[in-house]
């Protein structure tokens, strides 16, 4: 008996080491895998509907949904990012002129308030930071093409083998079927909450911002719409990455009133949308506590990069759910989980989670 246990543990150790080795080699494709998982939760029900309503079959419905999602999600996002990237490249090539404008603005404020804000050394550091940040952003955009390719490659096989994949989880995960279904249900709602809530909030902020910019007579509204939409996705700083530079630009261009209106509007209106509407949408769709969302984003960005905006809060929420399921599954502390634990039985062919 002891010899059998040693062999089992040794084999398990071999599997863990082998699995970690494979995972480490595939770490560069993590964003693509997470992106595929995100789109999977959005497309699994439409695929089931197409199969049932129009009898398209797995392959035809999969190809149709991949093309549709690419045209509705990837193409618009690519156009927005491309618009901002082109301007970033222009900033890199004209960084000296940009910094001279900023230096002029700061010099005026120093003379106005009577103390030094920016030294020559700080200006040099700012120049290096601006160039490095813009170049880094262009590099990230270039890598996104590989991420999209991996994402759709993985998503194709996930949708094509949807039922078999979901049945595999019911068969091999060491939990009761109702608990596996609960995890799938919660994961589905959390992914949709974050993946739809964050872009929706950013889009609302961009629309409100461009209305304000148009009223003030700001030029190049398309660029500022795109810049605000992208900036609003970034946690903590959000849309301020767009409206603060615009306010500075307006001020240095001899429009101080417009500059202050942009700044006040950004803090009062866009800040409210970012801090209130985002949390409301995510709690309503995914019923996630605001603290889970905030700390999840902070943790997720450090672990997953850009996709951490979506999967950070999911990681914390899923951990809490797994703790509850563990306490119920193994009767720890006599806890009874009060959530909906009714689930289809995998052995009866009902594997939709």
Work out how many domains the chain is built from and give that number.
2
Among the residue ranges 77-86, 243-252, 327-336, 340-349, the one predicted with the least confidence is: 340-349
Answer yes or no: is pLDDT of 301 > 60.
Answer: yes
The verdict on residue 23 lying in a domain is no
- Whether 243 and 353 map to the same domain: the answer is yes
- Whether 75 and 220 map to the same domain: the answer is no
In this prediction the pTM is 0.73
Final residue before a domain boundary, out of 125, 160, 195: 160
- Whether 85 and 123 map to the same domain: the answer is yes
Question: What's residue 118's pLDDT?
Answer: 56
Q: What is the mean pLDDT of the chain?
A: 76
- Whether 334 and 283 map to the same domain: the answer is yes
- Whether 202 and 315 map to the same domain: the answer is yes
- Whether 340 and 195 map to the same domain: the answer is yes
Final residue before a domain boundary, out of 128, 160, 192: 160
Most confident of 107-111, 172-176, 228-232, 346-350: 228-232
Answer yes or no: is pLDDT of 181 > 60.
Answer: yes
CA distances from 339 to 61, 243, 321 (A): 33, 43, 10
The verdict on residue 9 lying in a domain is no
Final residue before a domain boundary, out of 134, 160, 186: 160
The verdict on residue 14 lying in a domain is no
- Whether 191 and 155 map to the same domain: the answer is no
- Whether 180 and 120 map to the same domain: the answer is no
Categorize the per-residue pLDDT at 119 as very low, low, confident or very high, splitting at 50, 70 and 90.
low
Answer yes or no: is pLDDT of 339 > 60.
Answer: no
- Whether 200 and 143 map to the same domain: the answer is no
- Whether 207 and 352 map to the same domain: the answer is yes
- Whether 143 and 190 map to the same domain: the answer is no
The verdict on residue 24 lying in a domain is no
The verdict on residue 120 lying in a domain is yes
Among the residue ranges 108-112, 231-235, 285-289, the one predicted with the least confidence is: 285-289
- Whether 193 and 299 map to the same domain: the answer is yes
The verdict on residue 285 lying in a domain is yes
The verdict on residue 288 lying in a domain is yes
Q: Could you list the residue range(s) of the whole structural domain that residue 83 is in?
A: 49-160
The verdict on residue 261 lying in a domain is yes
Question: What's residue 53's pLDDT?
Answer: 86
Categorize the per-residue pLDDT at 32 as very low, low, confident or very high, splitting at 50, 70 and 90.
confident
CA distances from 134 to 67, 100, 123 (A): 32, 17, 16
């Amino acid at each position: 008996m002891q010899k059998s246990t040693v062999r089992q543990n040794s084999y398990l150790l071999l599997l863990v080491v082998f699995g970690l080795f494979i995972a480490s080699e595939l770490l560069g494709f993590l964003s693509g895998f997470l992106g595929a998982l995100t789109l999977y939760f959005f497309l699994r029900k439409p695929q089931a509907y197409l199969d049932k309503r129009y009898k398209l079959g797995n392959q035809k419905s999969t190809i149709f949904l991949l093309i549709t999602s690419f045209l509705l999600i990837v193409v618009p996002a690519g156009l927005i990012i491309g618009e901002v990237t082109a301007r970033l490249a222009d900033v890199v090539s004209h960084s000296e002129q940009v910094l001279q404008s900023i230096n002029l603005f700061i010099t005026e404020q120093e003379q106005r308030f009577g103390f030094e804000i920016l030294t020559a050394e700080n200006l040099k550091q700012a120049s290096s930071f601006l160039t490095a940040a813009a170049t880094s952003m262009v590099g990230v955009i270039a890598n996104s093409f590989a991420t999209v390719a991996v994402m759709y490659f993985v998503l194709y096989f996930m949708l094509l083998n949807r039922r078999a994949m979901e049945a595999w989880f019911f068969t091999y995960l060491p939990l009761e079927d109702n608990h596996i279904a609960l995890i799938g249900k919660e994961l589905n709602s959390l992914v949709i909450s974050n993946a739809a809530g964050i872009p929706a909030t950013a889009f609302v902020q961009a629309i409100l911002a461009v209305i304000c910019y148009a009223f003030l007579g700001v030029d190049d509204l398309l660029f500022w719409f795109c810049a605000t939409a992208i900036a609003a996705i970034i946690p903590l700083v959000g849309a301020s990455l767009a409206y603060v530079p615009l306010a500075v630009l307006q001020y240095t261009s001899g429009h101080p009133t417009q500059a202050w209106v942009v700044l006040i509007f950004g803090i009062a209106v866009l800040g409210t949308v970012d801090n209130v509407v985002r949390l409301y949408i995510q709690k309503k769709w995914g019923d996630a506590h605001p603290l889970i969302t905030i700390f999840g984003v902070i943790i997720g960005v450090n672990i997953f990069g850009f996709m951490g905006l979506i999967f950070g809060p999911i990681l914390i929420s899923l951990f809490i759910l797994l703790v509850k399921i563990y306490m119920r599954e193994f009767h720890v502390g006599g806890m009874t989980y009060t959530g909906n634990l009714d689930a289809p039985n995998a052995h009866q062919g009902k594997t939709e989670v």
